[in-house]
Amino acid sequence: MAANPMSQFDVYRIGPEIKVGAFDISFTNASLFMILSTVSILLVFNLGSKKNSILPNKIQLLAELSYTFVSKMISDTAGSKAKPYFAFIFSLFMFVLFCNMFGMIPYTFTVTSHIIVTFVLAAFIFIGVTVIGFIKHGFGYLKLFVPSGVPAVLLPLIVVIEIISYLSRPISLSVRLFANMMAGHTMMKVFGGFVISLGIVGGWLPLSFSVALTGLEILVAFLQAYVFAILTCIYLNDALNLHH
């Protein structure tokens, strides 16, 4: 396991095999880290909202700063109409962030480095946003694909491009997160491998690189969670405030 940089992404069963009909829903290391992330988020925010003191303590400050951060992000990108979706985007941001951050601890598993996980999240967002758009605007939502101020000659081409870009949203959203996570972790593993193979003489260079990469990866972990959440907000904005 140690030598292969891709083996860190292996999913393996923990405990017995659980089958429901034809489906295998066994408890795996991925499930473990999903539960760990969820429990940590709930713990932090439960502690942070328990007491209401005028001068917040550290954990309360953390919870309230996260709340206002996400709240501001949503109101900046999607306006006041997006308020009912605050809880969803907040959960999404925190879930992705905690999964990414848990992945930064050595010997852990990164839930978000699996395309299936990010794709399910992105597909859910895509379907949800499309449904919201059609509920809010009816078939007028299709005007999203017809930008205003485009010459009539170019219109068929533009509409096709718009439709393709709209349909590729879940793919770009999920692949962006998955690829970033996987690439970063693979890189770290590769450089870690170099440290071992070059030994005490030449291992210092990849080691320093590895340290720098760790910092970068922590930044990427936060940034990708933020990008995931803010793109969700932008898609939601398209559905809520149709203006093209």
Partner 1 sequence: MIKKIYFQSIFFSFFFIKATFAAESGGMPQLNPEFWVSQIFWLVLTFGILYLVLSKLILPKISNNLESRKSQILENIEAAEKQRDDSDAKLQEYDEIISKSKLEANSIFNQAREKAIKDIGAKREVLDNQIDNEIAEAEKEINSLRKSAPDKINKIAIETSSQLLQKLIGAEVNNSSISAIVDDLCKRNGDKYYGN
- Alpha-helical regions (H) of the chain: 29-50, 58-78, 86-103, 115-137, 155-167, 169-202, 204-240
Pairing relation of β-strands 19-20 and 23-24?
antiparallel
Q: Which one of residues 74, 78, 97, 182 is an interface residue with partner 1 (CB under 8 A)?
A: 182
207 binds partner 1 (CB under 8 A): no
240 binds partner 1 (CB under 8 A): no
Task: Please report, as residue ranges, which positions from 160 to 179 form the binding site for partner 1 (by CB under 8 A).
Answer: 178
132 binds partner 1 (CB under 8 A): no
* Nearest of 38, 120, 80, 100 to residue 233 by alpha carbon: 80
57 binds partner 1 (CB under 8 A): no
- 85 Cβ neighbours under 8 A, 6+ residues apart: 74, 78, 236
Q: Least CB distance from residue 238 to partner 1, whole Å?
A: 22
Q: Least CB distance from residue 6 to partner 1, whole Å?
A: 6
Nearest residue (CB) to partner 1, 101 versus 242: 101
How would you class 191 by CB atoms within 10 Å of its CB: exposed for 0-12, middle for 13-18, buried for 19 or more? buried
Side-chain-side CA neighbours of 93 within 13 Å: the count stands at 23
64 binds partner 1 (CB under 8 A): yes
67 binds partner 1 (CB under 8 A): yes
Q: Give the separation between CA 54 and CA 236, rounded to whole angstroms.
A: 34
42 binds partner 1 (CB under 8 A): yes
CA 23 from chain centre, in angstroms, equals: 26
Q: Give the separation between CA 8 and CA 3, rounded to whole angstroms.
A: 10
221 binds partner 1 (CB under 8 A): no
Q: Give the separation between CA 207 and CA 205, rounded to whole angstroms.
A: 5
Neighbours of 75 (CB within 10 A): 15
Q: Least CB distance from residue 19 to partner 1, whole Å?
A: 10
Nearest residue (CB) to partner 1, 167 versus 183: 183
183 binds partner 1 (CB under 8 A): yes
Nearest residue (CB) to partner 1, 49 versus 157: 49
Interface residues with partner 1 (CB under 8 A) are 3-7, 9-11, 13, 23-28, 30-31, 34-35, 37-38, 41-42, 45-46, 48-49, 52, 54, 60, 63-64, 67-68, 86-88, 90-91, 94-95, 111, 113-117, 120-121, 178, 182-183, 186-187, 190, 216
